[in-house]
Amino acid sequence: TGAQRIAQLSRATRADFDADAKVMRLYDKKGRRKKPREHDVPLIEEAVLAMREMGDGPYLFTLTHGATPAGISGMGDALDAANEAMGKAEELPGGRFTARDLRRTVETRLSAEGVSLEDRSHLQSHGLSGVQNRHYDKYKRINEARAALEKLRLLLDPPGKVLPFPKRRSEA
């Protein structure tokens, strides 16, 4: 998805997914908004398949086959194995790998691939609350975001194996 915010992903339900367009609608509450801003995120084929693998419950981003949304604590638990492996490989200079690191890495890698600041900003829902975006430019940049996600996907070539997250003790 381009490393969307976990809080936004956790609110996404089946009603927020347009299967024909392969676009997921998120709601950005960040900042001083009285009403969340709609943020449409295209999904590449691998993301659609991964979403379907998560289950058929009402929530799209889940660790419980759709019964409940995945939250930041569940993702932290899921990253424990990655942190352990990265620690053993000495890839963690003074810290833990977090979801924020994932967002930063995606932003940096897309920048290195020539994806414009504007397209990266739209993809990750950064700084889109100015006068121009709020009142004049209503273009959602879906094609540009999808192209950026395809570039990101190619950086993972050969593609890594998608591993299921372990169930949390309270969900088992």
Q: Output the pLDDT for position 25.
A: 95
Of the two residues 25 and 55, the one the predictor is more confident about is 25
pLDDT for 172 beyond 50? no
Please report the DSSP string for the chain in residue order: --S--HHHHHH-BGGGEETTTTEEEEEE--SS-SSPEEEEEE--HHHHHHHHHT-SSSBSS-SSTTSS---HHHHHHHHHHHHHHHHHTT--TTS---HHHHHHHHHHHHHHTT--HHHHHHHHT-S--SHIIIII-----HHHHHHHHHHHHHHTPSPPPP-PPPPPGGG-
Average pLDDT, the chain: 83
Q: What is the pTM of this model?
A: 0.77
Confidence of residue 74 (pLDDT cuts 50, 70, 90): confident
pLDDT for 166 beyond 70? no
